[in-house]
Amino acid sequence: MTSTRRRLDPDALAALEEERDFLLRSLDDLEAERSAGDIDEADYDGLKDDYTRRAAEVIRSVESQEASFASIPGVQWRQVVSWIVGLAILGGLSGVLIARSSGARTAGESISGGVRSSTVSLVNQARSLQADRETWPAAIEIYEDVINQDPSNVEALSYGAWLTNRLGGAADEAADAFREVALLDPAYPDAIVFHTIVLADDGRWAEAAEVLNTLDLDDAPGQVQAILGERGIVGEVYAEANYELLAANGEPELTELGLDADRALAAAGWLIESDRPLRSVAALKLYRAVLVVDPDNPAALSREAWILFSSRAQAPELEARAIELIDRAVDANPDDPEVLLTRASMLLESDPETACGDFAQLLGIDGLDDLLRERVTDLSDNQCR
């Protein structure tokens, strides 16, 4: 009963609704600026991701508050609306005076003018403390305050558990919090990534893979993608979870490994850079598993070819197989930068004419990464005169 009373706060609900409307208007304004050419695509993408994420969080909190009101025995939602309207009328005169004297209130402030902070403003305060490890304990305290007011706030649950774990908190306690978030919002990407990393740090690879399977890698927000890329967690988790099977005899299929092509490629890439004793063998098995379901996959073909080509000193017969694979890759994917660069690198000494042709093809690709273009230009200038 006590927690229910804390959550039944018409003032906080009104503040959340104001925050929601503010963010939705901001999204509309952002689209207008983009249409008018007043903002570049990079800034547009970043701001849209931020506004969309914040709006989703606020909408979830609004729905949570509304559900709490609706669950009061013997009380109809219309009565609750009447209470809110009544409170708004009572506070109307003072609100007008405050607005005139101090200007428009920013989104996220409570209707009382900030005397009692809403969970939205508390979460914003906690976010501002996350950049510096020294202030993480203060952020954790604020998240705990938010959870006391709104036990279903997935951001507070997720980031409170994450920061606590990073400061030495037990993995099991963090995992319990992330499982609670998964019940509230199964697709919340931040919690999925945090949960995966906590389990990986604890060496619980199979559990980590199971959690990571729930993340849509293609649709994950930019910030989440950055965390995944910086740690290389996708490849690490799936490689470690499947290493024993890959190191054993036989060549397992993707379904047996529980992987799709993208996750298998990430696992293979991590293995190549690891210190596992059978890393090349395990990576080759992953590439071949990908080729079973996608015979022309450019990454699998070119990377298998490169591994075989790199082993030619120990087994000269592998060179012909490597060239056969990379030729097949180019035939199927004539404009793929990785494929072209791999063949050019392999043939630069033995077949410079073909290698230089691949460099020229690469430099003709629109949208080629600037760093790659610079590298290819240098190679072409030095080797293809």
Which residue among 56, 88, 116 closes a domain? 116
Residues 3 and 65 in one domain: yes
Distance CA 268, CA 284 (A): 8
Residues 106 and 122 in one domain: no
H-only helix segments in 71-135 = 77-102, 119-128
Residues 14 and 106 in one domain: yes
Residues 88 and 163 in one domain: no
Q: What is the pLDDT of residues 304-314, one digit of tens each?
A: 999 999 999 98
Distance CA 210, CA 212 (A): 6
Within a domain: 57: yes
Q: What is the pLDDT of residues 163-186, one digit of tens each?
A: 999 999 999 999 999 999 999 999
Contact 206, 241 (CB under 8 A): yes
SS3 181: helix
* Dihedral angle sign, alpha carbons of residues 243, 245, 246, 252: negative
Which residue among 204, 221, 256 closes a domain? 204
Show the domain range for 89: 1-116
At residue 382, the pLDDT reads: 87
Q: Give the number of domains in the chain.
A: 3
Query: What DSSP state is assigned to residue 349?
Result: T
Residues 51 and 122 in one domain: no
CATH code of the domain covering residue 165: 1.25.40.10
CATH code of the domain covering residue 372: 1.25.40
Within a domain: 10: yes
At residue 93, the pLDDT reads: 32
Q: Which residues contact 156 (CB under 8 A, 6 or more apart)?
A: 119, 123, 126, 143, 144, 146, 147, 150
Residues 94 and 177 in one domain: no
Which residue among 71, 94, 116 closes a domain? 116
Distance CA 374, CA 379 (A): 9
Q: What is the pLDDT of residues 15-71, one digit of tens each?
A: 666 677 777 777 777 777 777 776 778 777 777 777 788 877 777 776 665 555 444
Residues 121 and 187 in one domain: yes
Within a domain: 240: no
Nearest by Cα to 14 from 72, 102, 73, 87:
87
SS3 249: coil
